[in-house]
Structure 1
Amino acid sequence: MGVFTSGKMYSQVSVGDPSPPLKGALLDIKQGPSDANNTNSTKGVLFPRVFIADKTKLGIDLDTKALEYAGAQVYNTNDVLGKGMYTWDGEKWMKYVTSITQKKTQDTEMVAFKTTGTSTSDVYLLNKTDVEVSALSVSNWTAGLDGNLYITTVLYAKLSTSATDATGLTDLGNTFFKIELTGSDGSKAIFLAACTPINAKASPDGIVKNRSHYARNNPAVAIAQGAAPVKKGVTYSIKVFATEAWADTGVVRVGTFAWNGFNAFSTLKADFISVPY
């Protein structure tokens, strides 16, 4: 007499080694045989190769069973979509990320913000040689990283003269500025700016003669913007120089001036931006 029984059996499977699978693994692919000189497996897992024509279509079965196949893994041979391992997430095929491009960052630093001061007497008398506008100087700044230093200057110059309304003179100046960046490694960068201060005669509109008033004697402005590479560990200084090339009988000053009820400050701003890292 023979007795036959039937029923469901649930088991875990171990492949590649006779030892039982780990408790938490339904399928445990063991390391292949190796000798004493090779402790790494000499074999791999070969996944099914499929041609994925549409990433949104399951393809390996009816699309109505899409959710049931969440987690399925295949190797896609379609070069148009990109060959490689794909996982079905229940709605679409997702390619394995084989490399990660790390987004780079850049450091920024406001190195300096300098002005010629709050007083309209904070001015520098110019001549035909370089005069340093020392209020705008920056010294002993050391770059923490390689990068670029961006320098912006807004510089005001004003022309005064011995002329009066009675003489009817109009004077012009030619004022030049040099912004100099110097590094402890001997490097140097120079930016230039210029403006034309004007002291114009008064209009003949009945103004009383010999008044100490000059029409259109507002400060002229020179603006410079520039950038220069700086190196990590190098110490830098910034200096601003001004010179008057020609003003005839006039006298040119640079600095802070009263202008329409406000003070116009000569200004230097320096900002650092590192190279991406």
Structure 2
Amino acid sequence: MAYHVHQVRKRMKMLRGLLRLMRDALPADMYRQENAALRDAANALSVTRDAQVCINTFDILVPPETLDDKAQQLAPVREALVAERDRLLTAPSPETQGNNAARHLALARGEFAKMRERLPSWRLTDKGFKAIAGGLKKVYGRGRKAFAKASASGDDGDFHEWRKQVKYHWYHVRLLHSLWPRTMRARAKELQSLAERLGDEHDLTMLRAKLLRLEGIEEGALAELTWRASRRQLTLRDEARRLGGLLYAEAPKAFCRRYQRFWKVARF
């Protein structure tokens, strides 16, 4: 179930990325409606997804084979995380006569169905590169600003915002793959690598927050796991900063002009 929830959320984010690319060529009310629908449906699935992520992150910090050694004191932490995940997945939901996870998936499925019914009414106000220029430039620019802010502040929330903008830009590059396949493929690969680092970094933030809410766990175990998480976060942030400096080196106007030239050469 957790796998299916994760896959649905990924596709919702891809659709939101598409909307952002075409934003300036869509009627404002249409963009707001579709973006809000996808956002709300994705948020409904986030609770069960986040619970599984905390377990996966624990297993990276504390490989299973080490639980029989000096890290045995950390085993109760994993047990508590699994118990919470199972409770969220199996909690009864009167609306679907099933469990919470089933209810959340049903809500997401309903939003997709409604959006599909509205698709024939979608209309773009511009054609060609003009239809995507504003969205391409805006998302890249936001990512560049978020990179600078996160690098300067070191704040968890700033890194999370940068991650979101990186993923949207990654989706845009993938959508524009045919402009120059080899070049776009290389950039998409580096953006994926950056998104994965920032994603792992955010997962560690979630785990640290979860540890503060766990009850009945020895303080020593919580302190040990928090230390491991913090140390890993520092490494991931350093790697992300270096990669981000390369991917966001251009000013937004220059970046957009370059892609406009790609578009013209490709004769779209």
- Class of the TM-score when normalised by the shorter of the 2 chains: under 0.3
Q: Which has the larger radius of gyration?
A: 1
TM-score by length of 2: 0.19
Q: TM-score, normalised by structure 1?
A: 0.19
Query: Which has a greater percent of strand?
Result: 1
Report which of the two has the higher share of helix. Answer: 2
